[in-house]
Amino acid sequence: MSTTATITLPTVRPLEPPIGSEIDFGAQIDGVDLENLTDEQFASIRKALYNHHVVVFKNQHKLSPKAQYELTKRFDPVSESYGHGKTIDAKRSILHPDLKTVPHQPQVQVIGNGFVPSYEGLENVQLKHPHHRTFHKDHVPDEKDYDFTRFYRWHIDAALYGLHPPQVTTLLAVNVPKGRRQTLLYDDGSEETMDVPLGTTAFVSGQRMYDLLSPEDQEFVRTSKVEYAPHPYIWMSSARSRSTGLGMHSEGRELPDSELPPIDTEKIMVYPMCWKNPETGKLSLQIHPSAVHKIHLADGTVIDDLERVRDIVYKLQRPAISPQYVYPHDWEDGDLVLFNNRGVLHSVVGAFKPDEVRLFRQCNLAGSEPPVGP
């Protein structure tokens, strides 16, 4: 028997799309110990991530917060702080008002639903799953709430003010309530619906979003940029979302500058509409639809009519969130999902009962560099 240590590389198996689905992303990775990753194993995970965008590692119940943080950081070794930094004015921000930080690993956050007596140094934690009722203009009626659901908010994990978007996000399912399924309604006149597992996380591909556009629109998105609102999650806090969770209605409800925390104009972010994949060079249409504020055209013109800006972005993005392009991950305890935050959009989904306990750990780190355009 040889005593030479052999390095086993992880196996990568693309996800089998269900009947009727046209998703071309997602993979399961097996055969790797995430607590003790070699450089070669990491290189193969990185390659899989940038080719498949959403990768799933099963049975990671025992993964430590430290190993989760280290895997996340390995995609951007210079990055250090949580993707949203320190939440200024957390009371008015629409982001997880009850986000809990793991005390011994502050870049890792605990999210979910229900009461958790004790977890990773946190005691008596009350978690609340976001509900579209608090964000959408109109809602699924209360009596239908446990049977029907919506996409809550399509987004990129990103502060979009003073910090660059994280390269990747890791989500670990510690505890998942199982059993129910829900019908997801688009409620936008399209009559599109989807059968989804309770509390799924839904993903769509930015690359597909780009590929579905006409040649003229592809030219437009390759040459235009998006300016995000200052303090976007406070700015939009009184505004209301479209029923598809894909951006906001324009009703003049955004907070004026005078009601925002002080604005440092250097922190206002202007990014290309398309971001280049660091492994394949392919373009993804990556726009955070609810935080978008202005469009900068190739000739220097700036479109600052918010309603028009949102309508333009909506028309570009909507085709790619139709059911056949959505991957609704069916969470099982121990799933670790690693996703290319610069190549997909994702959304929380689902309406839980108060006693349905869901416990997840999330980690992402503000990017050390801005996204690269075409």
Any bridge partners for residue 358, and if so which? 113
Does 171 participate in binding Fe ion (rule CB under 5 A)? no
- Indicate the residue among 155 and 293 with the shorter CB distance to Fe ion: 155
Number of residue whose CB is nearest Fe ion: 157
- Indicate the residue among 136 and 296 with the shorter CB distance to Fe ion: 136
CB of 374 to Fe ion, least distance (A): 25
Judge whether 269 and 369 are in contact, CB under 8 Å: no
- Indicate the residue among 203 and 271 with the shorter CB distance to Fe ion: 203
- How far is residue 191 from each of residues 107, 174, 185, 208, 347, measured CA to CA in Å? 40, 35, 8, 22, 20
Judged by CB under 5 A, how many residues of this single chain contact Fe ion? Answer: 1
- Which of 276, 315, 285, 302 lies closest to 188, judged by CA? 315
CB of 157 to Fe ion, least distance (A): 4
Q: Which positions from 129 to 168 touch Fe ion by CB under 5 A, shown as an x/- string?
A: ----------------------------x-----------
Q: Give the separation between CA 11 and CA 7, rounded to whole angstroms.
A: 12
List Cβ neighbours of 69 (8 Å cut-off, separation of 6 or more): 105, 107, 108, 363
Q: Give the separation between CA 267 and CA 231, rounded to whole angstroms.
A: 9
CB of 155 to Fe ion, least distance (A): 6
CB of 193 to Fe ion, least distance (A): 23
Does 84 participate in binding Fe ion (rule CB under 5 A)? no
List Cβ neighbours of 19 (8 Å cut-off, separation of 6 or more): none
Does 120 participate in binding Fe ion (rule CB under 5 A)? no
Any bridge partners for residue 361, and if so which? 110, 172
- Indicate the residue among 41 and 157 with the shorter CB distance to Fe ion: 157
CB of 201 to Fe ion, least distance (A): 8
Q: Give the separation between CA 209 and CA 326, rounded to whole angstroms.
A: 11
- Indicate the residue among 245 and 272 with the shorter CB distance to Fe ion: 245
- Indicate the residue among 205 and 218 with the shorter CB distance to Fe ion: 205
Judge whether 352 and 358 are in contact, CB under 8 Å: yes
Q: Give the separation between CA 316 and CA 309, rounded to whole angstroms.
A: 11
CB of 366 to Fe ion, least distance (A): 14
Does 76 participate in binding Fe ion (rule CB under 5 A)? no
- Indicate the residue among 157 and 335 with the shorter CB distance to Fe ion: 157
Residue numbers of the site for Fe ion (CB under 5 A)? 157
